[in-house]
Amino acid sequence: MSSSPSDPSVPDSPVIDLRDGAVVIAGRPVLRRVDLTVRSGEFVTLLGPNGSGKSTLVRALTGLRPLARGTLTLFGTPLESFRDWHRLGFVPQRAGAASGVPTSVREVVASGRLTRRRGLRPASRADRAAVESALELVGLADRAKDSVATLSGGQQQRVLIARALAGGPDLFFLDEPTAGVDLPNQQALAGALHALSEAGSTIVLVTHELGPLAPLVDRTVVLRDGCKVYDGPPLAVDDAHGHHHPEAGRHDHHPGVIAPMDRRDEEVTW
């Protein structure tokens, strides 16, 4: 596991630097005027109601969504010429880790090693060691040979985190890793993230509910309707989601689709 900050000589050098970022999806501006600077070793959470652009922001920061305007540099390199993908660990928002074919836990985690492996070369001893230690860190070493489909949702989320860990990155993006995860698994997850943070990794976490992760957070960024509305010390999640949108109804980008769980008549607790 690599744990060195982005540049040891400058401990506070910006790892992510987004200026005037905007993302347009299908002709509709989704993110506007977003400035975000994350320094090495910071633990930042992105909060905001559904459709506020949290996931879109993370997708823009990882290069999955092109910026319609603005500039983004990662580790001091403009995104267009950024090639050090092994420094990024990405945990996408997913229902699970399973696919159409049985897949063992170790195979999923080993695929995270591809940020460092190239071409037809077989896995080296270092590759295997990194996979084992990633499994240890999320507490699933004893399940390595099992099919991921037999794991619970929370355990599958931990597999995806181990996959991101396996490449030994120093910047992590996690998109809703605790959604639908039971408390013991959330605690296991918090333990793994704490260890990473302690080791100097930079962490950007999108979440609805912090739960056991709350004590780890250095800084909170709140998005609303595609704009940054708060950037500072951690807030209670209720502040982030409650006070900023007192109007009734939703103002997000989901066109009129209301989930059966959503109530219009009371404040939604995320």
Those residues whose C-beta lies under 8 Å from the C-beta of residue 92, and which sit 6 or more positions away, are 160, 175
Choice from 39, 163, 241, 245 touching other proteins (CB under 8 A): 163
Choice from 88, 130, 159, 189 touching other proteins (CB under 8 A): 88
Nearest-approach distance from CB 240 to other proteins, in angstroms: 25
Q: Is 151 helix (H, G, I), strand (E, B) or coil?
A: coil
Alpha-carbon distance of 15 to 174, in angstroms, equals 16
Nearest-approach distance from CB 270 to other proteins, in angstroms: 22
Choice from 9, 80, 101, 257 touching other proteins (CB under 8 A): 101
Residue type, 7: D
Q: Is 259 helix (H, G, I), strand (E, B) or coil?
A: coil
Nearer to other proteins, 11 or 184 (CB): 184
Choice from 2, 13, 37, 104 touching other proteins (CB under 8 A): 104
β 171-175/88-91 pair status? parallel
- Binders of other proteins among residues 58 to 87 (CB under 8 A) are 59, 62-64, 83, 85-86
Q: Does 106 bind other proteins (CB under 8 A)?
A: yes
Query: Which stretch, 11-19, 102-110, 211-219, 262-270, contacts other proteins (CB under 8 A)?
Result: 102-110
Q: Does 115 bind other proteins (CB under 8 A)?
A: yes
Q: What is the DSSP letter of 137?
A: H
Choice from 14, 167, 226, 234 touching other proteins (CB under 8 A): 167
Choice from 19, 25, 50, 94 touching other proteins (CB under 8 A): 94
Choice from 69, 184, 236, 269 touching other proteins (CB under 8 A): 184
Alpha-carbon distance of 173 to 74, in angstroms, equals 13
* Nearest CA-CA partner of 230 in 221, 239, 219, 217: 221
* Nearest CA-CA partner of 193 in 181, 183, 201, 185: 201
Cα–Cα–Cα angle for 178, 167, 193, rounded to 5 degrees: 35
Q: Looking at the chain, list the stretches that DSSP marks H as alpha helix, in order from N- to C-terminal side.
A: 54-61, 105-111, 125-137, 153-166, 183-198, 237-238
Nearer to other proteins, 7 or 182 (CB): 182
Q: What is the DSSP letter of 139?
A: T
Q: Does 242 bind other proteins (CB under 8 A)?
A: no
Nearest-approach distance from CB 214 to other proteins, in angstroms: 18
* Nearest CA-CA partner of 217 in 206, 228, 229: 206
Choice from 33, 117, 244, 250 touching other proteins (CB under 8 A): 117
* Nearest CA-CA partner of 265 in 251, 248, 252, 250: 248
For the chain, report the end-to-end CA distance as a whole number of angstroms.
Answer: 33
Nearer to other proteins, 171 or 222 (CB): 171
Choice from 13, 68, 92, 191 touching other proteins (CB under 8 A): 92
Q: Which residues bind other proteins (CB under 8 A)?
A: 59, 62-64, 83, 85-86, 88, 90, 92, 94, 99-104, 106-108, 110-115, 117, 120, 123, 145-147, 150, 152, 163-164, 167, 173, 182-184
